[in-house]
Amino acid sequence: MSIIPKAIQEHLNQPYQLDDSQIKFYDEHRYIKLKQVFDSHTLAYLNEAVSNRVAIMNQEHRSLEERSTYGKAFLQLFNLWTQDEVVKELVFSKRLGHIATQLMQTNGVRIYHDQALFKEGGGGITPWHADQYYWPLASDKTITAWIPLQETPLELGPLEFSAGSHQIVEGRDLEISDESEAIIQQKLKVTDFKHVIEPFDLGEVSFHSGWVFHRAGANSTNEMRKVMTVIYMDQDMVLKNPENKNQINDWETWCPGAKIGEIIDTQLNPIVFHY
């Protein structure tokens, strides 16, 4: 029997219907922020569950000063859904899966993996990057749900986007680093893509594609910026021949047993929504 309250389960699986203008906006800019995806009661419940699981899984005990730029950006824990029933309910929620399916205009979505990204008080920037550099996936039908577990003003370091920058090829071969911050920032300065820097309201969630460039500012407060993310992909996503060591690692870690040229259908990549 589930330990999760019925009201929470019902909210997580309640449809969030998008209109044509929202789908068009995402298709053009490859990001969108949606208000009231989760109510305050559900978010408080998820905040406690994710925070507890992060505390159990976290192995980073160095001070911020001892870490690289990447390490200062956030505490990063993966596939919490395999360890925690409440987190699994969130990751598998029909509400998120339906939104992802609508935005990507597919017949359904499956999980790639999840990540908790907790930016500590005093934590540094998350440099400009495109996620799909890390992924051995054959198409750009990928989307990340970025779920702040609290209201996120600019001081906490919310996610920022370069709207429409999925069209830029330069910088796609860079992992998250000081180099990616410098090179991509310089490239974006000479383009017309809007740099979107906005706070997140309580319950607001963003969705962005794998090739759109994004970053986050530093956390200038003494509080933890708590974010849970879920990466979804087209239910028919095919594994491609990896192009770098990170994609080889992702294949072995998040798609174990998947075969190049075939649909990624493993125990770690279940379909969570389809029409």
Cα distance between residue 237 and residue 137, in whole Å = 7
Dihedral pair phi/psi, residue 209, rounded to 5°: -85, 165
Q: For the CA atoms of the chain, what is the radius of gyration?
A: 18
- Position 125 scores a pLDDT of 94
- φ/ψ of residue 50, rounded to 5: -65, -40
According to CATH, the topology of domain 18-274 is Jelly Rolls (2.60.120)
Residue 73 has pLDDT above 70, yes or no: no
Query: How many Å separate Cα 215 from the centre of its chain?
Result: 12
Q: Specify the pLDDT at position 70.
A: 65
* Per-residue pLDDT tens over the stretch 194-234: 999 999 999 999 999 999 999 999 999 999 999 999 999 99
Q: Which of the residue ranges 72-76, 100-104, 124-128 has the most confident prediction, judged by mean pLDDT?
A: 100-104
Q: Which two tokens stand for residue 10?
A: 């019902």
Query: How many whole angstroms separate alpha carbon 231 and alpha carbon 110?
Result: 9
Mean pLDDT of 183-192: 81
Percentage of the chain beyond pLDDT 70 is 97
pLDDT mean across residues, the chain: 94
When pLDDT is cut at 50, 70 and 90, the band that residue 172 belongs to is confident
Cα torsion 254, 255, 257, 261 to 10°: value is -150
Could you tell me if residue 240 is left (phi over 0), alpha (psi between -120 and 50 degrees) or otherwise beta?
A: beta
- Is the Cβ–Cβ distance between 126 and 73 less than 8 Å? yes
The type of residue at 201 is D
CA nearest to 81, candidates 207, 264, 275, 269:
269
The β-bridge relationship of strands 108-119 and 159-162 is unpaired
Residue matched to tokens 């598998």: 92
Q: What are the pLDDT digits (tens) for 130-154?
A: 999 999 999 999 999 999 999 999 9
pLDDT tens, residue by residue, 46-66: 999 999 999 999 987 778 787
Given a cut of 70, whether residue 99 has pLDDT beyond it is: yes
Mean pLDDT of the region 156-179 = 87
- What is the model's pLDDT at position 1? 45
